[in-house]
Chain A
Amino acid sequence: MNDLLPNLVALILLTAITAYSTAGGADFGAGIWDLLAGNSGRGPEARRLIDYAMAPVWEVNNVWLVLAIVLCWTGFPPLFYATFDRLYPLFALALIGLVLRGAFFAFRHVADNPRTHRIADLVFGLSSVLTPFFFAASLGAIASGRISSGSVLEASFSPMSIAFGLVSVAATAFTGASFLVGDARRYGSPDLVDYFRQRAVAAALALILVGTVALVVIGFQTPELFRSMLAGPGLPFALTTMVLTPLVAFVLWRGLFRWYRVLTVAAVGSLVFAWGFAQSPYLLPGRLTIAQATAPGSTQIALLAVTLVLVLVVVPSMGLLYYLDQRSALESTEH
């Protein structure tokens, strides 16, 4: 009973990380496709769609990231300390990537000369790859259970952290392409629908491949995590990902445009949940459990109250924004 509060807050923390991985992931993914689009063929057109898809939301997804950090330091101060104390290289790199990405996204709208424009595109694209890589690498470093052994560099850059980082790059590319299919459809551009459909399928295959390699790495490095991912509490989520990722690829390959975005989010979200549940009740495997790291009960109650208000107020507001966005899309096709 005493564990209920901290467990709930840990679940909310995991949900915030998942929301960032999917909502932010769609954004980063768009940046990755921007990088790969090139300047010939359909590249420039694809880039314009990416701009169009990203401009309105710009940095709003950051709120999920901020929320995750805040939940971490308030709800589980020792976890916050241990990760930042040991993994600061990863966080600093991710942070720099995040700012560069924002700055150069703005820059390319301002740059008039083609050469600076290309540089801006390049920095924006590269930072879209590196940022999710480093964020996820920190999760991998945590999952490895070895953040406090060896040097800071060894803790930050281990096979596990690199495996997690690569999975996240594939996952964001997948999410990005799948959402861009939606944007291309909404904009009524069949060429680009095909363009991103093919890329979504390719990214799904890449995700399956990299995911399998990552599982092997997990199996060698942390057999316990491997077991609870495939036979313990992580299993339902791991299974969901394994079923949904090929399913989305199939759906898009056949050109059946239904549910593919929801399924994409479910696939990538389950991936994060599979990790989180597999290592529960540990926040730092082998070292720190949820119960050991928890802030006093009054703090956890306050966090739950804030979350409740967030759900009650923010969800309907977001619904309204979404509704207006869709309606204005309808209007602009009527014109």
Chain B
Amino acid sequence: MAATLWLAGESALLPSRIQMAFTLATHVLLVPLGVALPSLTLLMEGIGLARQDTVALKIARRWSVVMAVQFAVGAVTGTILSFEFGLLWPRLMARFGAAMGIGFAIEGLAFFLEAIFIGIYLYGWERLQPRTHFLLGLALPPAGLLGTVSVLAANSFMNTPGGVKLISGHVTDVDVMAALFTRSLGYEFWHFLIAIYMTTGFIVASIYAVAWLRGRQDHYQRLAFAVPFTVAAALTPVQLVIGDLSARALVADQPAKFAAMEITWKTRDHNPEVVGGLIDGSGAIHFGLAIPSLDSLLVGYSAGTVVPGLSSVAADARPSIVEANITHLAFDAMVGLGTAGVLLAAWYFWVVVRRRRLPDSVWFYRLAALAGVGCYAAVEAGWVTTEVGRQPWIVYGLMRVSDAVTGAPASFVWTMLATLVVVYALIAYFFIYLLVRLAARWRREDSLGPSAPEEGAPYGPRPAKLGRVGS
């Protein structure tokens, strides 16, 4: 009886949105390392093989373990996401599964390959010829890339749907290629791809920046800092250019999202760029710094460019005021962090090119130590911009979030959400604990001689002796 009562109640829209946001935001924290760490590891292994550098090989071997732990957690959180399409948004796939599902099918294929080749790569250390090992590892980056492009294809379909023929709300025909490669995939893919390589480069480098600050400045530390940092720093300015392209594409593709990003109320020319600040229900801006005409200039390179405002879209087809403010602040955070990254990169290359050595300023390493975390924040902010800015649509212009939500009662979803929050906190704790313990073990082993770090890791080879795995 109590169970029946608990299963009746109001719409689950709010908890469903919170749960989706929570689980996606968690999953995406794992994605950068999952996709890009294999490339960095292979780069390090390649350097080690070419120069016969055992230090580089040791670094690569340790990174491969982090990669595997990371992948295992990504697999759990990703499986949950797949279920959520049924548990939270069953009507989305009922209507569009035939089109946006194909991206997910390719994603499944890609993860299969990743899982298998991570296994092979971990087994292969010292069990395969070094060259064979390296060559087999080369399967990992393309597999990660395939996974990324196919998930983003599904997300882009939600932003700029295409390739479907609808008759009274039902998909009757699908043009597979057109549904996979929708307009926004062009910018979303490159922007996200660079974001994950930047994030990985900066986060890995930041660990060694901290080590530098603590006085460990030998060859091992310098190499492990310089390689990932250089890659990430070189990508940062490129990211700004692509981000700018995305923003300008949105003017045509999703004008309401663009208006929310810039908290513009009325469609107009000479539109100012508001940095920070909030909009209220009457369209007035509070706080923030308005730079005259800059928004129009950025969009069309002339102050006379007309940019869309929120009020040009029907109230029930655009983000609410709260959502617009969230979108705007998230967008500003992303752009701010990106700009800060460019400044840091400029400092780095200035020293490296002019003085032919790594910077030795304590402040440089302090900022470098923060760059990784900053990138994660930028990635989260970017996704909030994309997803909240699309409201109230789950598939832009074709289906509302409220029409996609499950018929399950709110209490059910709240309970599921609470459970997931608790379990995720546990997982996060183990994950971090495991990484900290690995690092401690490696430091101990540095004084002891050769070891096989990959034994007992998820996907790693079985240890030669039967014992407590992982300890």
Nearest-Cβ distance from residue A44 to partner chain B, whole angstroms: 10
A74:B79 contact, CB within 8 angstroms: no
B4:A314 contact, CB within 8 angstroms: no
Residues of chain B lying within 8 A (CB to CB) of residue A73: 85-86, 93, 97, 101, 104
B175:A298 contact, CB within 8 angstroms: yes
Q: Known contacts A299-B174, A321-B123: does B466 contact A189 (CB below 8 Å)? A: yes
Residues of chain B lying within 8 A (CB to CB) of residue A71: 105
Q: Known contacts A66-B79, A77-B98: does B462 contact A328 (CB below 8 Å)? A: yes
Q: Known contacts A70-B108, A80-B86, A296-B173: does B456 contact A55 (CB below 8 Å)? A: yes
Q: Known contacts A62-B79, A70-B108: does B115 contact A96 (CB below 8 Å)? A: no
Partner of B87, one of A84, A110, A327: A84
B461:A328 contact, CB within 8 angstroms: yes
In the complex, A308→B126 CA distance in Å? 33
B119:A88 contact, CB within 8 angstroms: no
B85, B90, B416 interface centre (most CB from chain A within 10 Å) = B90
B contact residues, total (Cβ < 8 Å): 80
Partner of A302, one of B86, B102, B119, B433: B102
In the complex, A99→B416 CA distance in Å? 12
Residues of chain A lying within 8 A (CB to CB) of residue B423: 96, 99-100, 103
Instruction: Let me know if A260 is at the binding interface, CB within 8 A.
Output: no
A80:B120 contact, CB within 8 angstroms: no
Nearest-Cβ distance from residue A232 to partner chain B, whole angstroms: 30
Segment among B28-36, B70-78, B199-207 that sits at the interface with chain A: B70-78
Residues of chain B lying within 8 A (CB to CB) of residue A220: none
B119:A60 contact, CB within 8 angstroms: yes
Residues of chain A lying within 8 A (CB to CB) of residue B412: 88-89, 92
A325:B123 contact, CB within 8 angstroms: yes
Instruction: Let me know if B458 is at the binding interface, CB within 8 A.
Output: yes
Instruction: Let me know if A202 is at the binding interface, CB within 8 A.
Output: no
Q: Known contacts A73-B97, A96-B419: does B458 contact A55 (CB below 8 Å)? A: yes
Residues of chain B lying within 8 A (CB to CB) of residue A59: 72, 75-76, 79, 458
Partner of A109, one of B419, B463, B471: B471
Instruction: Let me know if B420 is at the binding interface, CB within 8 A.
Output: yes
A78, A98, A102, A309 interface centre (most CB from chain B within 10 Å) = A102
B105:A70 contact, CB within 8 angstroms: yes
A310:B85 contact, CB within 8 angstroms: no
- Considering only residues 103-121 of chain A, those with a C-beta below 8 Å from chain B are 103, 106-107, 109-110
Q: Known contacts A52-B469, A77-B95, A328-B462: does B105 contact A302 (CB below 8 Å)? A: yes
Nearest-Cβ distance from residue B172 to partner chain A, whole angstroms: 7
In the complex, A298→B176 CA distance in Å? 7
A81:B93 contact, CB within 8 angstroms: yes
Nearest-Cβ distance from residue A267 to partner chain B, whole angstroms: 25
Nearest-Cβ distance from residue B2 to partner chain A, whole angstroms: 12
In the complex, A318→B67 CA distance in Å? 19
In the complex, A85→B90 CA distance in Å? 7
A208-245 vs B, Cβ < 8 Å mask (1 yes, 0 no): 00000000000000000000000000000000000000
A314:B109 contact, CB within 8 angstroms: yes
Nearest-Cβ distance from residue B413 to partner chain A, whole angstroms: 9
Residues of chain A lying within 8 A (CB to CB) of residue B104: 70, 73-74
Instruction: Let me know if B7 is at the binding interface, CB within 8 A.
Output: yes
Partner of A62, one of B75, B116, B461: B75
- Considering only residues 22-65 of chain B, those with a C-beta below 8 Å from chain A are none
A77, A189, A321 interface centre (most CB from chain B within 10 Å) = A77
Instruction: Let me know if A2 is at the binding interface, CB within 8 A.
Output: no
- Considering only residues 147-191 of chain B, those with a C-beta below 8 Å from chain A are 171-176
Residues of chain A lying within 8 A (CB to CB) of residue B105: 67, 70-71, 74, 302-303, 306
In the complex, A210→B427 CA distance in Å? 35
In the complex, A295→B76 CA distance in Å? 28
Residues of chain B lying within 8 A (CB to CB) of residue A107: 426, 430
Instruction: Let me know if A152 is at the binding interface, CB within 8 A.
Output: yes
- Considering only residues 116-146 of chain B, those with a C-beta below 8 Å from chain A are 116-117, 119-120, 123-124, 127-128, 139
In the complex, A67→B86 CA distance in Å? 14
B101:A299 contact, CB within 8 angstroms: yes
A56:B433 contact, CB within 8 angstroms: no
In the complex, A52→B176 CA distance in Å? 44
Please provide the 6 A-B residue pairs with the shortest distance between their CB atoms, ordered closest to farther: A74-B101, A84-B86, A295-B98, A81-B94, A109-B470, A332-B464
Please list the residues of chain B having a beta carbon within 8 angstroms of any beta carbon in chain A: 3-4, 7, 72, 75-76, 78-80, 82-83, 85-87, 90-91, 93-99, 101-102, 104-109, 111-113, 115-117, 119-120, 123-124, 127-128, 139, 171-176, 406-408, 412, 416, 419-420, 423, 426-427, 430-431, 433-434, 437, 456, 458-471
